Structure 1
């Protein structure tokens, strides 16, 4: 009779018994959360414990989750950040393009301020060229590239991150840099031969110098930043890099005579 009562009513008593989390006193990297579930055994007066291991998130993953959760939560708040995040959701292509154009304009102005002689003035035509480049070329290409990377390799483990970094350095970087030099040189009135000579002179040194900067930027972007924010972070890194690029692009044309 007791066994029959236990079989019929035991399932009602299981939710009453709390499950508790017990964290082992190991190192942070090896920390395991033990979850114990109490249920009745063969006798109504005894119980057994079932334990399951649930890996705890690492410190970096916890920081990343909390940071970007707070950013996502700000979508519903009033202010520029909330407005920008809503625009990323509703109009991602246009928002990323305009963001890139503004960052490129700011970086070009900064570059001119650094290299400008004392009695000089800002070249607004050059700034307009850079703004148009960010709006029409860089912003759209970033949107397409980062979405493509997330499609072919959606995870953020180290292998996927290094794979994306390699593709960025081997494919996207050389293409977008070549387009930048060609675009800027053509608007300055250089001929096809002059553009080819400029690329032959400046492209390889620029890419080699980028190996000291972009792998770190790409690792941080691909590893810790959500896909919809990656163009923004990449454009922020581009601010520093574009100061160097605009300086290289402003150099005199190669003498091919």
Structure 2
């Protein structure tokens, strides 16, 4: 196992954005698969491969690089010597600025990949954004406090991604539920991917 961790650290040091992108793409895809198979109980024959590919594309191109860059930024900006004080400062920055932004990016980007028009995207935000943000504020402060306070800097994105499996399962499910909201039926969504 230590060889695998050393290779991960090496890739993180040499190719951080690529590592974050691949990590996020895998974690988001796993979350979507769990949502489809274990929450929605679609079965393998009804698995929406295009939906999984959209999720993967978001993780590879946007989610991973943005989250990885954010972790680096927060660690550079917060220079408080106290480990606990630094963890609380990083958590505050994360919850105030990053959580609402990354949720909006996810919902908007996935909507674009789904082929939704502007009115459909607005409706999705009206119906789902605040629920998603409320759930994020019930989940991420605890996960991130652990990550910021206990986990060494080089492993924070990896451990955070572990928590992300559950979160991304929820996001995939939330996104799918938004298709069932009034004024936004699945048949109104053009097929993309």
Q: Which TM-score applies when normalising by structure 1? A: 0.65
Separation in 2, partners of 1:108, 1:119: 13
Structure 1 partner of 2:102: 176
Specify which structure has the higher proportion of strand: 1
Q: Does 1:106 align with 2:106?
A: no
Separation in 2, partners of 1:216, 1:195: 30
Q: Once the 2 structures are TM-superposed, how far is the Cα of residue 119 of structure 1 from its aligned partner?
A: 7.9
Q: Does 1:158 align with 2:92?
A: no
CA, structure 1 residues 118+109, in 2 after alignment: closer, same or farther (shift >3 Å)? closer
Q: 2:147 aligns with which of 221, 225, 237?
A: 221
1:90-101 to 2 correspondences below 5 Å: 90-101=14-25
Task: State the secondary structure of the residue aligned to 1:84.
Answer: helix
1:114-172, CA deviations, whole angstroms, 9 ceiling, x for partnerless residues? Answer: 21345852111111111111111111111211111111113452222112112211111
Separation in 2, partners of 1:147, 1:91: 13
1:47-66 to 2 correspondences below 5 Å: none
Q: Once the 2 structures are TM-superposed, how far is the Cα of residue 247 of structure 1 from its aligned partner?
A: 0.4
Q: Once the 2 structures are TM-superposed, how far is the Cα of residue 101 of structure 1 from its aligned partner?
A: 0.8
Choose between structure 1 and 2 for higher RCO, CA contacts under 8 A separated by at least 6 residues. Answer: 2
User: Which ranges of 4 or more aligned residues in structure 1 deviate by more than 4 Å?
Assistant: none
Q: Once the 2 structures are TM-superposed, how far is the Cα of residue 85 of structure 1 from its aligned partner?
A: 2.2
Specify which structure has the higher proportion of helix: 2
Q: Which TM-score applies when normalising by structure 2? A: 0.85
1:110-149 to 2 correspondences below 5 Å: 110-114=34-38, 115-117=40-42, 120-149=45-74
Q: Once the 2 structures are TM-superposed, how far is the Cα of residue 250 of structure 1 from its aligned partner?
A: 0.9
Separation in 2, partners of 1:157, 1:119: 46
Q: Once the 2 structures are TM-superposed, how far is the Cα of residue 253 of structure 1 from its aligned partner?
A: 5.7
- Which blocks of at least 5 consecutive residues in structure 2 are unaligned? 185-193
Q: Once the 2 structures are TM-superposed, how far is the Cα of residue 191 of structure 1 from its aligned partner?
A: 1.1
Aligned residues between the structures: 181
Separation in 1, partners of 2:28, 2:44: 24
Structure 1 partner of 2:191: none
> CA RMSD for the aligned pairs?
2.0
Task: State the secondary structure of the residue aligned to 2:25.
Answer: helix
Separation in 2, partners of 1:185, 1:113: 21
Whether contact under 8 Å (1:111, 1:246) holds in the other structure is yes
